[in-house]
Each structure stands twice: as structure tokens, then as C-alpha cells.
Chain A
């Protein structure tokens, strides 16, 4: 850890005067993957707050870690739906194979294991995510394979070079209702209909179901760069997952892929082409 670097981060946030200390801690966490003790002391000193307050915030939020974390993060969902489908057994299997408890990191600093309370894909439970990629309907025999994939690094498809174009049929990951709208076609295929809200506006949006196409039709014009909240038109649950867009950092919107089974995630920022497809 470089104290100068921490000071730079704090200066960048104007000493936390505008938006408080959470953005500072988030930046440090994203740089070092955890919050070193020395860094917290510098934050306390530079922002003029007591160490007790900084430590209180850092230990309160689950997003912050006070212990070094591994290169890869495995999150096991123990939300209600995944729990009743045997998420706990999956978690135990991971604990047994990695020989660590949730919240700990393996000795070789490769993998951090954690349990989370919902990853927003209840219909596909039990869910496990590795570095933001979804593994659905996980069963105990699949655990070894997932750990192996996490260690070798998941082959990331480079979005720019990915020129596959094919239609997908998606459903809400919470209620499993189809999001396809067979009365409105975009690109010659049924569109995907969801509700979005942004800047106090609330209306429908139809997306092209062609993987690789970015055609959109919406009730209100969404300005470029605006992050919108997506909702299921059936159960009205917000479509929000745990991962962030690799391109712009906005939250990703998960949707369930019918047929093949798997998850597709699209960036919630208008104009950003960040997306990710995980087929089982």
C-alpha cells in the first residue's frame, strides 16, 4: 500500500466534504480489494473524522472488507428461493472443498468465498456467481468444476469482437414470467418488454431480442448516459443483480434465458453496450 496513493484518492474526493466517506472507501477497496488499516488511518486524518467513525462505516457495509481478498470472488446465494432449493448444501460443499468458511480467503490468495442474500435470479436457484458470472441450478457435483473454472479464470468474451447474432427468449429472473411481447416486433422478432424508470419518469421499453442488436423502442426518450432502473412488468420486482458493467460500472440488469437456460445481463446505462451471456 502506498500512503501517497491513498492521499491522492482522498484529494480526488475533495476530502469527503461533498459526498461523505463512502465513495473514498469504495475507491480504496476497488484499488486494493480490501481496506488496509493504514489506509483507514490516513482517511481519518485527512477527512478530519475520528477513526471510530471510519471503522464503523467500513465494518458496517458488507461491500467493504477489512481483510485482503482473493483474486476471484465466489458468491453463493442463500436468499429464500435458493435456500429452499438447497443453497446451504452448495455452500457447505464449497466450504469443504476450499477448506474455508464464507467470508474467508484461501491460503494461496486465489479465491474468496462469500454468501449473499439474493442475486436476483431466484427462478434459476441455487445460484452461484464467480466474478459476476452466473452459474444456475448448481448441484453439489458441479462445485468442483466451478472452483476449477474460477481458478483458471473464466474465458471473458471480448464484447467488441463478439459478433454472434441470434434471438434469445428471456424471462423475469424473479417470477419466471416471459418478458417477450409477441405483438410488437423489433428487428423482425418479438420484442422484450420491460418497465423502466428514470428521472421521475416511468414507462415501458421494448428491446430487440437479437443478441448483438441494440435496437430499442421506448415510451419516453431516454437520454444517453442515463442509468435507468428496470422492472418486471408482471411482478414489478426490480431487475437488478450483484454485478457491475465491465465497461462503464453501472449496475447490470439480469434476465433469464429460456430454452437453453442461463443468464443474460445488460448494462442499465442508456447507450452502453456492456452485456454478458452465461449459458448453462
Chain B
């Protein structure tokens, strides 16, 4: 067992556990995005940063990839951590403002304005789908391609993969492109039934590109009757 201090509380954890697991085990919440139980730690979204060390040596590390260390002093919600996390969330929100997951995370972290240009990216390169495909579905049909600005996700040569079984797990775990409401018309991205209900989250001019996140969908429930 390894003993360390999390937010001033002396705790002990088994060797090999990560700071994220330890913190959550002892009830200190840490927000995550690219992390998922059952998938290997990746450290891409940086949302789970915590502060370790003392004084001038204090630094921010991603708790999902950092293993527990003897005598480590961890702060999961220091002002530096909160500030860094808010900035990361603002940037994530700017790159993918249509994502419900990111919207929720942003609002729960008290982000009330958007300072950066919205990019409406389809992908935030969190790598969840890649790990899902490889580790849980044992398929390895999709992966990262290119680098830097041109880094993207997809199959080799953009061709239909022979190893893909169309299981849909990649879409299921994606925080950016969550499966859209299709009601009965599968070819339509959104059924539009909720348009008449005009919930505040749907106050937009065009409905072609919308995603509905109500579960269960009010409009679908109404239509069923």
C-alpha cells in the first residue's frame, strides 16, 4: 500500500492505481472527458488535471495517467487547478460547442461566456473511439492519421474497413457526435418533432444540423400516443 495526501486527507492506495481512481475512491470529484472505465488511460483532454508537489515545485499533471506515489501531496481543487480546468473547458467548448457533454461540463464549471471563436469541429481527438475499437471490440478499424493541425480520425485510406463490424461502439462513446435523435425516419439526422415544443436549448434558426439530447424525447413520447 502506498500512502499519500489528497486535499490534506491522508489516504492509502494500492500500488499501480492512478490519482484519478484514488481521488474518486475517497470521494473527491474530478471531471473527465477522454477517460472511460474499461479503456486505457490516455491523458488527451487534460480536464482531469490535479496539482502535485509543494511550493515552487508544484505542477499540474493529468490524474488519469499519473500513478500514486509514496508521500505525494495532491490537490484536486486548488485555485490553480480550477483555473486551468476552466481554460481547458473554454477551449474545448470553442472547438466543439455543439457537444452536449462539453456543454454540460462547461456549465457545471461555471463558464458563462464564450471568449474564443467557435469552430464547430466534428471531433475533439479524445481518442475514446479508437481505444474502444481496439480494446473492447478487438477490431482496430479506426485510428489516428496525420499529425498536428491535420490530425484526424478514420479508417486507413478513408475506405470502408474490412475489420469494422459496424458495431457502433465508436459512436456510442463519442462525446462530440452523440447519436442523434432519429425517431422513425432513420435517414433524417433529427426528427424535428421537438421543434414545436421549442425547448430553450433548441433556440436556433436552422434545424437541419441539430442534435436533441432529451431523454426520453418529449416530442417522441407525444408522437407515440
Judge whether B45 is part of the interface by a CB distance below 8 angstroms.
no
Chain A 17-52 interface 0/1 with B at a Cβ cutoff of 8 Å (1 = within): 000000000000000000001001000000000111
CA distance A61 to B17 in the complex (A): 34
Is there contact, CB below 8 Å, between B146 and A40? Answer: no
Is there contact, CB below 8 Å, between A55 and B145? Answer: yes
Among residues 108 to 156 in chain B, which have CB atoms less than 8 Å away from a CB atom of chain A?
140-147, 155-156
Is there contact, CB below 8 Å, between A52 and B157? Answer: no
Q: How far is the CB of B90 from chain A (nearest CB, A)?
A: 29
Which residues from chain B contact A40 at a C-beta distance below 8 Å? 156
Is there contact, CB below 8 Å, between A52 and B155? Answer: yes
Which partner residue on chain B sits nearest A60 by CB separation?
B147
Judge whether B163 is part of the interface by a CB distance below 8 angstroms.
yes
Which partner residue on chain B sits nearest A61 by CB separation?
B147
Among residues 180 to 198 in chain A, which have CB atoms less than 8 Å away from a CB atom of chain B?
none
Which residues from chain B contact A50 at a C-beta distance below 8 Å? 140, 143, 163
Q: How far is the CB of A210 from chain B (nearest CB, A)?
A: 44
Chain A 223-255 interface 0/1 with B at a Cβ cutoff of 8 Å (1 = within): 000000000000000000000000000000000
CA distance A42 to B155 in the complex (A): 17
Is there contact, CB below 8 Å, between B157 and A56? Answer: no
Is there contact, CB below 8 Å, between B144 and A56? Answer: yes
Is there contact, CB below 8 Å, between A55 and B147? Answer: no
Which partner residue on chain A sits nearest B145 by CB separation?
A59
Which residues from chain B contact A55 at a C-beta distance below 8 Å? 143, 145, 156-157
Q: A53 with B146: in contact, given A37-B157, A40-B156 (CB under 8 Å)?
A: no
Q: How far is the CB of A21 from chain B (nearest CB, A)?
A: 14
Q: How far is the CB of A177 from chain B (nearest CB, A)?
A: 33
Q: How far is the CB of B88 from chain A (nearest CB, A)?
A: 25
CA distance A51 to B159 in the complex (A): 12
Which residues from chain A contact B147 at a C-beta distance below 8 Å? 59-60
CA distance A54 to B156 in the complex (A): 9
Which residues from chain A contact B145 at a C-beta distance below 8 Å? 55-56, 59-60
Is there contact, CB below 8 Å, between A60 and B156? Answer: no
Which partner residue on chain B sits nearest A40 by CB separation?
B156
Q: How far is the CB of A263 from chain B (nearest CB, A)?
A: 29
Which residues from chain A contact B141 at a C-beta distance below 8 Å? 52
CA distance A69 to B137 in the complex (A): 37
Which residues from chain A contact B144 at a C-beta distance below 8 Å? 56
Chain A 91-131 interface 0/1 with B at a Cβ cutoff of 8 Å (1 = within): 00000000000000000000000000000000000000000
Chain B 62-89 interface 0/1 with A at a Cβ cutoff of 8 Å (1 = within): 0000000000000000000000000000
Which residues from chain B contact A53 at a C-beta distance below 8 Å? 140, 143
CA distance A142 to B147 in the complex (A): 33
Q: A52 with B140: in contact, given A37-B157, A40-B156 (CB under 8 Å)?
A: yes
Among residues 152 to 170 in chain B, which have CB atoms less than 8 Å away from a CB atom of chain A?
155-157, 163
CA distance A141 to B142 in the complex (A): 47
CA distance A54 to B163 in the complex (A): 15
Is there contact, CB below 8 Å, between A60 and B163? Answer: no
The residue among B146, B155, B156, B163 with the most chain A CB atoms within 10 A of its own CB is: B156
Instruction: Return the 6 tightest CB-CB contacts between A and B, nearest first.
Output: A52-B143, A55-B156, A50-B140, A59-B145, A51-B156, A59-B146
| Besides A40-B156, A55-B145, 11 other A-B contacts (C-beta < 8 A) | A50-B140, A50-B143, A51-B163, A52-B140, A52-B143, A52-B156, A53-B140, A54-B156, A55-B157, A56-B144, A59-B145
B interface residues (Cβ-Cβ under 8 A, vs A): 140-147, 155-157, 163
Can you give 6 A-B contacts (C-beta < 8 A)? A40-B156, A50-B140, A52-B142, A52-B155, A59-B146, A60-B145
